[in-house]
Amino acid sequence: MNEICCECNQVNCNCNISIRQDQNNSKSNILKDSKSESLITFFKCSTFSPKINKIKGHLSNNNAPCILGLCETFINGSISDNMLLIYNYSFERKDREGKKGGGINVYLADDVSYKKRHDIEVSEIESIRLEISPAKCKPFLLNFIYRPPDSKQNCVDLYDAQLNIADFFMFGDFNINCIMNNGLLCYSNEKWSDIMNKFGLIQLITAPTRVTKNSSTIIDHTYTNNTRHVARAFTSSLAPSDHYPVCLLHSMNFHISKDSKHTVIKYRLFNTFNENNFRSDLLCSGLENVETITDQNSALYLFYIILNGVLSKHAPIKEKRIKRTHQPGWFNNNIKQIIHERDRLKRNCDYKKYKTHRN
């Protein structure tokens, strides 16, 4: 099959762009990643709560996406943040207010540096905007959007105010069909097409994202105004709903770089731990709510979240930089005590004894 250039939208062009679009009938694993690339995945969830355990399982995989966006989560204020937590991931949520449906959740691996950009969000648009700061690279904006199929035509104008910015990527279920016409990508909404052309946005997804017995449409899109760091854009047939996930492999390393000379360990500091205060806070933590949850996995997960929350208040987690995780075999307690004594003598300016211990 001929590939569509994401720079000029022409078939078999001469642009030197290393972007490949895979068809949705491939066996591509949406969780596949590589050391030099970071995976972003977005899909329509169609009710998040019943699928949270399955998504937790996917994100526990070593090669899970570093950023996962979900739309149509159908969650509201009655569902607490504790119920949405996933180990090793932080998350941002935007619930639809005033009526049912909608909602967006974004999960980001703990070592992805980001901040939420409320200042450039438009309240009338169902979206979450994040500024991602890759290691040793210029930050860029990431936008996750859901546009309901019953949106009015004048709502398209609201997107105009969101797009006049620096490097960014935009993922979303736009409910606007992207049509292949003589090798060119066209849109079923003329006003939307004008906005995309106005800002020079490149739509990277060319395979259908929603397939039924009677139709095949591309209504889930991925846009960018700079393809330099795009390694690959594709869809996957491993779909948790009636829409295929859209995926993008970014060539930047989103993860915070580690010091090659040292290792950082985490430990709990019990120096000021008070057992009575700990028990008192635990009684007021809502731990009894665990017994009301029928699903064993969800109950256990909530138990750990509450317990760790209270424990972190009284015995906070600290980080310490060390040169090695294990001491050599010859390093025993006697040598450790001698080293401590040597350091004490130096602090007390007893240099005569210090020289003896030093040697």
DSSP letter string over 140-163?
A: EEEEEEE--TT--GGGHHHHHTTS
pLDDT per residue over 291-325, tens digit each?
Answer: 998 888 888 888 888 998 899 899 998 888 877 66
- Nearest-angstrom CA–CA distance, 311 and 87: 17
CA 252 from chain centre, in angstroms, equals 14
pLDDT of residue 115 exceeding 50, the answer is: yes
Q: Can you give the pLDDT at residue 162?
A: 67
Q: What confidence category does residue 63 fall into, taking pLDDT thresholds of 50, 70 and 90?
A: confident
- Quote the percentage of the chain above a pLDDT of 70: 84
Burial class (CB in 10 A: 0-12, 13-18, 19+), 254: buried
Backbone angles phi, psi at 220, to 5 degrees: -105, 120
pLDDT of residue 30 exceeding 50, the answer is: no
213 Cβ neighbours under 8 A, 6+ residues apart: none
Mean pLDDT, rounded, of the chain:
81
pLDDT of residue 112 exceeding 80, the answer is: yes
- pTM, to two decimals: 0.65
Q: What confidence category does residue 254 fall into, taking pLDDT thresholds of 50, 70 and 90?
A: low
pLDDT of residue 28 exceeding 50, the answer is: no
Q: Can you give the pLDDT at residue 19?
A: 38
Q: What confidence category does residue 222 fall into, taking pLDDT thresholds of 50, 70 and 90?
A: very high
Q: Can you give the pLDDT at residue 314?
A: 92
Tokens for 284, please give them. Answer: 């007021």
- Nearest-angstrom CA–CA distance, 323 and 58: 33
